[in-house]
Amino acid sequence: MKTRAWKPWHQKFLSNMKITLPTSLNPISRRKDKSVKLSFETRELDSTELMTLMALEGQEMWLILSPNENDAEIPLENAELDTKSPAQRLRSVLYVLYQQDMKENKFVGLFETFYKERMEKLIELIKNKLD
């Protein structure tokens, strides 16, 4: 069953959204992966501001922090939070599988050998699906 193509409309809708609010930055917390969790407090929001924030929840965006005395400019390029490429993610997942297989004695050898074998299997699987 095909789903309706909502993404272009959704992206266009979100690209027109922008909100500026006076806030205070609460304590910052560091995470294991070296990212940072930020928390903000705002004044009481009206329904339009609240709906805008809710629509933006979970989206990648630029956050510009500027004290009252400064004027900040928004970068022109898209904000991206992904720190790993798809290839890097695949290699990381294969490494976890390698460790698991080593522990269960399903594979004996170096990761590079395991990686090449698994990648070759994946490539053959995809090639077999080609017309």
Nearest to 13 by CA among 44, 45, 51: 51
Place of tokens 């009481």: 44
This prediction has a pTM of 0.42
- The set of long-range contacts for 44-53, using a CB threshold of 8 Å and a minimum separation of 24, is 45/21, 49/19, 49/21, 52/17, 52/19, 53/19
- The per-residue pLDDT string of the chain (131 residues; one tens digit each, 9 = 90 and over) reads 444 444 444 455 555 677 777 788 888 999 888 888 888 888 888 888 888 888 888 877 878 777 766 666 666 666 565 567 788 889 999 999 999 999 999 999 999 999 999 999 999 999 999 97
What CA–CA distance (Å, rounded) separates 59 from 80?
10
Place of tokens 């205070």: 24
